[in-house]
Amino acid sequence: MTIFLIVLHVICSLFLILVVLLQQGKGADLAGAFGGGGSQTAFGARGATTLLHKLTTGFFVLFVVTSISLAVLQARPGSSVMAGTPTAPVTTTAPANSTAPATTPAPAPAPVNR
């Protein structure tokens, strides 16, 4: 389930990046540069909603839903990035063919009486 959501999230993200870069801005025409075109409204004249705009809205909603779903799945107890990785045992013995001399620990210093 998580893998499916991650793949869907990445595809949705890439689509949103491309669609936002393809869209034309509101004031991109020559009249927008000189203040013309819909001065009665706050943000300019509202054009007809295009298919590209509807797709952007739909994929944005999908992006938000997958973001929240992935956050909820990762916040569950016992869910960890390292949960499925095997751990190697730690060995503390020296190899059998080691030529290093064996060392013994130094004795503890005697207490000093003052």
Amino acid 31: pLDDT: 57
C-alpha–C-alpha distance, residues 36 and 38, integer Å: 6
Are 63 and 12 in contact by the 8 Å Cβ rule? The answer is yes
Radius of gyration of the chain (CA): 32
Q: Is the pLDDT of residue 11 over 90?
A: yes
32/80: higher pLDDT: 80
Q: Is the pLDDT of residue 71 over 80?
A: yes
Token pair of 102 as six digits: 């064996």
Helix axes 2-22, 51-75, angle to 10 degrees: 150
48-70 average pLDDT score: 89
Which of 59, 52, 84, 54 shows the shortest CA–CA distance to 8? 59
Q: Is the pLDDT of residue 5 over 60?
A: yes
Q: Is the pLDDT of residue 76 over 90?
A: no
